Structure 1
Amino acid sequence: MINGTLKINRKVLHNGIEITLGRKDYFITYPAAIWKEFPDVFRQTFADSLTYFLTMHLSLSNGHRILYNFPPPITEPFFFKGMVYSLSENYLTADNKSKMADLLKLLYNRDFQIEFTGRPRYTRFKNVNRNSKKRAVIPFSFGKDSLLTFALADELGIKPYLIFFREPRSPHENRHKYKLAQRFFDEFDIDVHFFPLAPGWLREVDTDNTWGWGLQLTQYTLLTIPYLFGLKSKYLFWAHEQSCNDTFVNGEGFILNPVYEQSYNWVLTSNATAKVLGSNAIFASLLEPIHELAIIKILHSRYPDIAKYQTSCFAEEDIARSRRWCGVCTKCARMYVMFLAHGISPSKVSFFENMLTPKKRHLYPIFEQDLVKNDSAYAKSAAAKEEQLFSFYLAAKRGAKGPLMDEFKKKYFKAVKKKEKSLREKYFGIHTSNTLTYELKTPILKIFEEELSDLR
């Protein structure tokens, strides 16, 4: 740092990229067999794009002027658009302490403090049909979505290559996922490849806006591009469900999507942008047509041996050090009720905490509204609340018991019952499939129909 200016450089290495911030170096490395297949003509553009994308939030975090020692990357407008639309997540996780107008103003003004040296280089395109094998790279977390995506790809005869991005600020999650990966390999002979992400240290923690996390999944998308080349993979499968496309209007009149980078529109935009870096792989979400409740049902009924590995927990509290499910986050609460909605014992996935006691009340937005624990932008959305009400309703019909179930019955059961038919059609229905090509769509929708038709 010199006179309030943070100088950032990058270097292409024999096995990846070195990012330098002042005197601090961060390395992003790939297996030699993967990196050697990534064409030289794209490496410099890739390094510029990745360095900018992993550090652009620093001007928002501390207000410093940033000087990049390379020309503006060709992907810069793509990342800026992503930042604009992902501000909804910052707005919601800040618990309405900030206004959307203020966040937009901050992003707009701070962008003037980012400078590049040199003129943009011409991208050299090499039109080679490298992405031709029936194989899919799948960002993988052992959550319900990535597990079902793996299972579906396997059933379709598409060879999966699983990558878990190891965030340095998520030690508890990393520990649990490593243990699960060992068991997963022993049972299925499938490797989960752990990708250490050193620049993850640059993400903010314990702040209102948590800059650096907003486009985390899009960063992962960019990081997978050398794998698409190295594996000659035809597909990159994300695991974004139907509710990721929902929007609402806040009090200022802004249309917000709490998880914009998981929307089908952004998946398609990311796919188009990847072509600038030479990839002709197809980016898709096999789960786009269905909701979370349907995902739980299909995963646990059709693929029970895979489902038992599910871990859907933020794992941010110290209690998560020794627990696969922390039992103190909104995601644990949401999953617990969804299990009960389908008559699935939470113990099947090593979830032993009772989440229907009064001390868990603050984890459910249907009870606490704006006072719900502030660990998820999505948990506060109308879509999340409606699906949670329906989950409680289905669980109540199955005889689930507990103080919070009693409160639900008293406050909401009759109202939800009146809408049961429409809720079944929505949450067990099959919806848009914009990211699915015909060769994917036909067999996938057939599977969904087989599993969900009796629930509508």
Structure 2
Amino acid sequence: MLNIKSKRTSTGFDIFFRGKRYPLSYEKGHWGKIPEDLKETLQRNLTLLSTIHLPLLFREEKISYDMGFPIFETFIYQNMVYNIPKFTGQKTTEAIKNFMNIEFEYQNYDFEIPQCSFTPENKVIIPFSFSKEQILSLALCNEIGIDATLVNIEDSKLNIQGDFFKQGFSIEHIENKTGLLKNDLGFGLGYKNMESCLLLSTYLINKNAKLILHDNKQENNNINFDDEGFICYPSFDKSNQSLLQHDSMIKILTDNKCGVSSFVGPLSDIGIVKVLKHRYPNLAKFAQLKNDKDKFRILSKTNEGDYRRDEHLLSFYLDYKNGEKGGLINEFKKKFLKEAVDREDELIKSYLSIRSADSIPKDMKKEVLSIFKEAL
């Protein structure tokens, strides 16, 4: 049996597992402003979220917590089940059977729904680590006049790029050592958006904000099936289905005052890059990818069946048409140019069109979609 303990601190809480401490700490002064019932709810649910994979990893049949029942256990459990086909490295049927047989023990099943008294304003919170999706979300907020707070959630301080601060931005930080409970097989990797949803609920209150903006994009809904016929998501945690769950979680935590949305939901990776480069070049430079062959799966030996292959095919083709030069372009021309030419119309329709905009808030949808249409 595994034993998990957690203890509240002045800046957050610590998780204890097998004699080691894994702290989660907000910046000074932030945690103290949060209502006690919300602190308790976050501690319970984040502790479960950070450790739910451990019985599978250590092949144990029971895990015991020194805390009460976490109200979002069902969402956390489902998220773990959908991640099993992608991450475990073993047969899905065997892994799911092992997971279903795990006993989760809590001290009690008493809980309170947090009560929050604040009035949200036209402000958003963006979990921020310089991804292109996050930078585009920030750029859109600037253009349509929405105040955005950027929060980095990592186990170490973010290495701030270049002259980012000179453009008038600031980044707040949550030190999250619970991430060290993850492992190389990836059991604990598929919950970043759910984790940030819970962690950033405190910023909604302290900043009087109304939304958390996540990076759910078009490709995250492109399901396929593993060898045993189980559904595989590129990232279930970043799918539209999860976005709805995360929105429900925040509504519960904030008495229906706030929610979770995604500006980039209608776009593919290529669409995001194109909007950034053409509309926001001063910010696009912070999201540049290294010129690394391993990042482009179409040029790797294992590209067949990869859900990113066709998108990378179009990306190289567009760079080729724009006159880009270099070794990677030469390799693309030799191996894939004919295929790209033959499939040009199909690829453009698939990856440079605007898909469902349900992830964008209704009161912002018209402005955001207008920007996308102009840029694409």
TM superposition score normalised by structure 2: 0.91
1:136 matched to 2:124: yes
Query: Is the 1:88–1:258 contact (alpha carbons within 8 Å) kept by the matching residues of 2?
Result: no
Query: Do the aligned residues in 2 keep the contact of 1:139 with 1:164 (CA within 8 Å)?
Result: yes
Q: 1:303 to 1:248 in 2, by over 3 A?
A: same
Assess, with a 3 A threshold, how the Cα gap between structure 1 residues 218 and 32 changes in structure 2: closer, same or farther: same
CA distance in 1, matches of 2:303, 2:349: 28
CA-to-partner distance for each residue in 1:384-424, whole Å, 9 max, x for gaps? 10101111222222344455544433443233223212322
In structure 2, C-alpha distance between the alignment counterparts of 1:273 and 1:218, rounded to whole Å:
9
Partner of 1:121: 110
Alignment of 1:158-177 (within 5 A): 158-167=146-155, 177=158
Q: Does 1:294 align with 2:287?
A: no
Greater mean alpha carbon deviation, residues 400-409 or residues 35-44: 400-409
Task: Look up the match of 1:330.
Answer: 294
Inter-CA distance 124–221: structure 2 relative to 1 (3 Å threshold): closer
Give the partner amino acid of 2:301: E
CA distance in 1, matches of 2:353, 2:97: 40
2:254 to 252, 263, 278: 278
- 1:53-64 map, 5 Å: 53-64=49-60
- Whole-Å Cα distance in 1 between the matches of residues 116 and 172 of structure 2? 29
Q: How far apart are the structure 1 equivalents of 2:113 and 2:215?
A: 32
Q: What's the CA shift for 1:32?
A: 4.5
Match of 1:237 among 210, 213, 218: 213
Q: Secondary structure at the match of 1:178?
A: coil
Counterparts of 1:10-409 in structure 2, within 5 Å, are: 10-64=6-60, 65-90=62-87, 94=89, 98-109=90-101, 111-112=102-103, 114-118=104-108, 120-126=109-115, 128=117, 130=118, 132-167=120-155, 177-180=158-161, 183-185=163-165, 187-205=166-184, 209-278=185-254, 280-312=257-289, 325=290, 328=292, 330-331=294-295, 334=296, 364-369=297-302, 381-382=306-307, 384-402=308-326, 404-409=328-333
Secondary structure of the equivalent of 1:308?
helix
How many pairs were matched up? 374
Tell me which residue corresponds to 1:346. none
For 1:338, the equivalent position in structure 2 comes to none
Residues 16-74 of structure 1: CA deviation (Å, up to 9, x unaligned): 22323354333222234432332222221221111111112211221244210122211
Q: CA deviation at 1:6?
A: 3.1
Q: How far apart in 2 are the matches of 1:244 and 1:76?
A: 23
Native 8 Å contact 2:216 2:243 kept in 1: no
Cα 1:17–1:404, aligned 2, differ >3 Å: closer, same or farther?
closer
Q: Is the 8 A contact 2:151 2:171 kept in 1?
A: yes
Distance 1:450 1:9, change over 3 A: same
Percent identity between matched residues is 28
Cα pair 2:213 2:261 within 8 Å, conserved: yes
Supply the AA of the counterpart residue of 1:20: F
Structure 1 residues 409-448: aligned runs within 5 Å: 409-448=333-372
Could you tell me how far apart the structure 2 residues matched to 1:370 and 1:447 are? 33
CA distance in 1, matches of 2:245, 2:196: 15
In 2, the alpha carbon distance for the partners of 1:32 and 1:194 equals 10
Q: Any idea what the Cα deviations from partners look like across 1:338-366, whole Å, max 9, x if unmatched? A: xxxxxxxxxxxxxxxxxxxxxxxxxx335
The one-letter amino acid paired with 1:278 is T
2: distance between equivalents of 1:220 and 1:294? Answer: 25
The whole-number CA distance in structure 2 between the counterparts of 1:188 and 1:328 is: 28
Give the aligned residue type for 2:230: F
User: Residue 301 of structure 2 aligns to a residue in which SS?
Assistant: helix
- The one-letter code matched in structure 1 to 2:107 is T
Provide structure 1 residue ranges, at least 5 long, that are not aligned to the other structure: 169-173, 313-324, 335-363, 372-379
Amino acid at match of 1:369: T
- Asked whether the equivalents of residues 42 and 199 of structure 2 are also in contact (C-alpha less than 8 Å), the reply is no
